Structure formats: structure tokens, C-alpha cells
Amino acid sequence: MGPAESTVPPASQNELQAMAYTDQLTGLGNRYRLRDKIRSLAAERASDPAPFTVALANLDGFKPINDLFGTMAGDEILCQVAHRLKACMPDGATVTRHDGDEFAIILPLIFERVGAERIGQMIKDVLSAPYDLGDRNVRLSASLGFSIYPFAGADFDELMKSAETALYRSKRRGRGQITVYSREIAQEMKRATQIEQALRNAIIADAVDVHFQPIVQLQDGRVVGFEALARWVDPDLGSVSPAVFVPLAEERGFIDTLSETLLRKAAEATLAWPRELFLSFNLSSAQLMDPSTTANILAILNGVGFDPRRLELEITETAVMTSAETASRIISELRAAGVRISLDDFGTGQSSLGRLRDFAFDKVKIDRAFVSAITKDRASEHIIKAIVTLCDGLELEVVAEGIETAAEAEKLKALGCGMGQGYFYGKPVDAAATLRYLANHYHEFAVVDRASA
């Protein structure tokens, strides 16, 4: 034993034990305490069939606080959260800090959904009061996920997994949401796993396809490019929407493989088009958080022999926001390689005008929600007019999405919107039908095509 250590009396077995079960920052129990507590409660309740409840609380928007005000401020907030949770919990409850800004609460006397939701509301209210950081106050909200023993799981691992699923669903619905793991959620999870397996197989079997939808110049209706849209028909599940399977691939961690296949197919098909037409490809939010995205994309383009200057990548604001620094780096790298960037679904979600300035975009796509309301609703018309003016000033191109009627097209033209896309101009169709579309709608192409035949 070294001299320094000999001056401190050795910790007793009990003290060591307590330390191993304590979160140093907040003084709450840690993950091991949580596990022990749940295990012993489950063992107790196995003979006495009374349920109990596990809650996970995760702060919304905690990371930006850490980034903006420093980890000291972040730690201070975590301690205040711990304090508030301990103070408001019913008798018999145990609060632990589970991981980072995630807290777990074991509620031995909550037996069913309504009780869980009531306490969830209380926790949410308690955590959303302002936090005093000395020189400033900050506000945060919390998302909650609950699992009830034994329905949502009979042991620690299952209960935690169900609570995490519930929490994840809350997060996905926005801020300050409460979800209790239910039979319906269990059903949906089962179906998601079915889809996941089928999709993984479809990718291997090369059964996921890409369709293309024309994007036109509104002034003269001329095609300027196409958006690639993923299509998948499973023999058992039928046609599954990309709005279902793309988020699923993201969630289950294989969006890279899926997206790679799709981009390769799309780029290959594009090689047969007139050179001046661009390909617009949707990038998923997970890809904007992955630093290897640029290299992967450029490698695929290189492999296919596709000029990066013909590629546009559509990204959404949520994607940009979740991991702003990485996203911003990926965007600049891609732009440096000649790829253009479109901001998709603009006007929905968390639109911020500041984002148009902070990120280097080339194009903005106005969401269909405004376009389909434009002929009925003055407000939508004004919003589109404002977006067009704004984009003109910032030298951004504008595409209106989801144009279905001639009246909408006329209105958009009158408002000065440059480009459009929608069923009125063409539905998404496969590569072969796209070539036929080009032969019919793209004059130069028809000439070239005939010349080369």
C-alpha cells in the first residue's frame, strides 16, 4: 500500500457497496441500484401478483444546454432534476439516474395505466418549471416512458426494454409526451420486427426499387430533374410505404445499407437521362449524423460514374437540428464536391428562418400541406408568397411539392414560384417508365434518342 493511501482509512465493505450503487453527481441510486431494486421487487411480486411500474424520464433539449452553457450548467440542472424528483415522489418510490440526462423511477404502488399517466403528468409539470443557473433561468421539458410489471415484462431486461420503447415513442411524438407501454405497442413492435426482417431480406435480394417523379420549371412545364422515391412490394406484406420502412431502417440501424442500394440504383438509372437533368435523392436524418456519409455517397457516385454535380440531396430540418455540427460538416463537404442541398418539407415541423442563413442550402421545397391549401386558404397563399420572396432574397431556388391541379400550378406560377412537383406533372414511376416519360415530355431527349437509335 502506498503512503498516500495509508493516510485514508480504508472504506468499509458497506461504504464500498453504497458507492458502487450511487450516482456520484446527484447522489441518487445508479443503474445497479435500479437493477437490484427491480429484481427484488419482481421476485417479491412473483408470488403476490400485484403489478408495479417503472418510469423513465428523459430531459428534452438537454444536449444544447450542455453545448451552449457548458457541462457545469448541465450538471447543475441534473442535480436540480434529481432534487425535484426525490421531493415529489410518493412513498416507497425509488429514483435513480439511469444514464446521462435519463432518470428512472420505480413505483411499487402504481398498478395500471391511468395511475402511471397521472404521475407522469405530475413529473412533467415538476420538471418543466424554470431551472435557476445563477445568472440565468432555463426551461426544459421531459419525455416519459412507463412499463408495468408483469404485462410489459417479467424481468429487469424486459421491463427496461419496454420502458425504453415507450420513452422512444414519447420522444418521437415531440416534447413533453407521456407513453405507457401497452398491448397495442407490443403488437406494433411485433409487426415492425416482421417488416424489418422482410426488408433486410428484400435488400439482400435486391427487391427494393426506386421510382422517379419529375420536377418541372413552372413557367413552361419543362422537366429539370427527378426525385428518387423508394418502393418496396413484399410478397406477404404487400406494398409498404417508404414513410414506414425508411424510419424503421433508421431506427433499427440499417439505413446505410438501404440508402446505399437506393442511391446506386437511382444513379445508374439517371445515366440514361439527358445530362442536364438532375437527380434529387432523400437523405435520412440518421445519415446526417454519421460522419462517414460524405465518403460513402461519393464512393457510390464514383463507382457508378455519376457526376456529383448532377446530384441534389433532400434533407429535413429535424435532421439538421438533431446534430447540427456533424450535419453542417457533411453539408459543406458534399457541397464542396459539387452536390447541391435541398431543404425538404419546408414550412412544417420546426421551421426556423435562422436555419436558412446558418446552413448552406441551394434549394427549398415547400411542403405539400401549403400547396394543397393554396386555392382555398388565403393564409397558405401568403405563406408561400413569403417563402418565395425570402428565397429570392437569399438566392435559393424554390420547388412547390404536391401540385395536383392546374389551378394550383397557375397560382404558384403567379406567386413567382420557380419549380414544381406533383401528380399534376407526373406520379413517381419506375426507371423504364421514366425513360418513356422523357421521350414524350423532353423534346431534346426525343431527338437525341432517335438519333442514337
**Interaction between residue 344 and Ca ion (CB under 5 A):** yes
Closer to Ca ion by CB, 53 or 261: give it: 261
- Considering the rule CB under 5 A, would residue 170 count as an interface residue with Ca ion? no
Q: Which is nearer to ligand C2E, 74 or 422 (CB)?
A: 422
Closest CB to ligand C2E among residues 77, 258: 258
Nearer to ligand C2E by C-beta: 243 or 451?
Answer: 243
Q: Among residues 52 and 346, whose Cβ is nearest to Ca ion?
A: 346
54/297 with CB nearer ligand C2E: 297
Give the CA-trace dihedral at 190, 194, 195, 196, to 10 degrees: 90
Q: In whole angstroms, how close is the CB of 356 to ligand C2E at the nearest point?
A: 18
216 dihedral zone (left: phi>0; alpha: psi -120 to 50; beta): beta
Chain Cα centroid distance, residue 395: 28
Q: How far is the CB of 313 from ligand C2E (least distance, A)?
A: 10
Contacted by 116, from Ca ion, ligand C2E, none: CB < 5 to 8 Å by type: none
> Which of positions 373-402 make contact with Ca ion (CB under 5 A)?
401
30 versus 372: smaller Cβ distance to ligand C2E: 372
Q: Which does 262 bind (CB under 5 to 8 A by kind): Ca ion, ligand C2E, none?
A: ligand C2E
Beta carbon of residue 335, minimum distance to ligand C2E (angstroms, whole number): 19
What are the distances in angstroms from CA 426 to CA 269, 363, 384, 404, 434?
A: 18, 21, 22, 9, 10
- The closest alpha carbon to 387, from 367, 360, 409, 408, belongs to 367
The minimum distance between CB 142 and ligand C2E, in angstroms, equals 28
* Rounded Cα–Cα distance for residues 450 and 453 (Å): 5
Minimum CB distance to Ca ion smaller for 160 or for 331 = 331
Query: Which residues face 149 on adjacent strands?
Result: 52
190-207 burial, b at 16+ Cβ within 10 Å, e below that, comes to eebeebbebbeebbeeee
Which C-beta is closer to ligand C2E: that of 41 or that of 229? 229
Q: Taking CB under 5 A as the rule, does residue 317 contact Ca ion?
A: no
- Cβ atoms of 268 and 303 within 8 Å: the answer is no
The residue of the chain with the least Cβ separation from Ca ion equals: 314
The only residue of 60, 312, 314, 381 in contact with Ca ion, by rule CB under 5 A: 314
The distance of closest approach from Cβ of residue 256 to ligand C2E in the complex, given in angstroms and rounded to an integer, is: 11
Task: List the single partner that 241 binds among ligand C2E, Ca ion, none, CB under 5 to 8 Å by kind.
Answer: ligand C2E
**How does DSSP assign 208-221, residue by residue?**
-EEEEEEEEETTT-
Interatomic CA distance for residues 176 and 59, integer angstroms: 9
Contact 307, 267 (CB under 8 A): no
State the DSSP H helix or E strand holding residue 142, giving kind and residue range, or none if neither.
strand 141-149
Q: How far is the CB of 347 from Ca ion (least distance, A)?
A: 10
Which entry of Ca ion, ligand C2E, none binds 297, CB below 5 to 8 A by partner kind? none
Q: Is the peptide bond before 150 cis (omega within 30 degrees of 0)?
A: yes
Instruction: Work out the angle at residue 30's Cα, subtended by the Cα atoms of residues 24 and 36, and round it to the nearest 5 degrees.
Output: 145
Separation between Cα atoms, residue 366 and residue 213, nearest integer Å: 16
Supply the minimum distance, in Å, between the C-beta of residue 364 and ligand C2E: 13
Q: How far is the CB of 331 from ligand C2E (least distance, A)?
A: 16
For residues 136 and 47, give the distance between their C-alpha atoms in angstroms, rounded to a whole number: 51
User: From the list ligand C2E, Ca ion, none, which binds 23 (C-beta under 5 to 8 Å, kind-based)?
Assistant: none
What gap in Å lies between CA 219 and CA 191, rounded to an integer?
Answer: 46
In this complex, which beta carbon is closest to ligand C2E, that of residue 76 or of residue 345?
345
CB of residue 372 vs Ca ion: minimum separation in angstroms?
A: 13
CB 422 within 8 A of CB 401: yes
Shortest reach from residue 79's CB to ligand C2E, in Å: 40
The residues with which 213 forms a beta bridge, in sequence order, are: 227
Of 122, 128, 126, 125, nearest to 141 by C-alpha is 128
Kindly write down the DSSP assignment for every residue of 314-360, as one continuous string. EE-HHHHHHTHHHHHHHHHHHHHTT-EEEEEEETBTT--HHHHHHS-
Select 116 or 228, whichever has its Cβ closest to ligand C2E: 228
Q: Of these, 23, 345, 381, 397, which contacts Ca ion (CB under 5 A)?
A: 345
Stretch that binds Ca ion, among 57-65, 270-278, 314-322, 387-395 (CB under 5 A): 314-322
Binding positions for Ca ion, 266-285, rule CB under 5 A: 282
Residue 344 beta carbon to Ca ion: minimum distance, rounded to whole angstroms: 4
Footprint of ligand C2E on this chain (CB under 6 A)? Answer: 213, 228-230, 241-243, 246, 259, 262, 282, 284, 314, 344-345, 368, 402-404, 422-423, 428
Element (H, E) at 53: strand 52-60
What does the binding site for Ca ion look like in residue numbers (CB under 5 A)? 282, 314, 344-345, 401
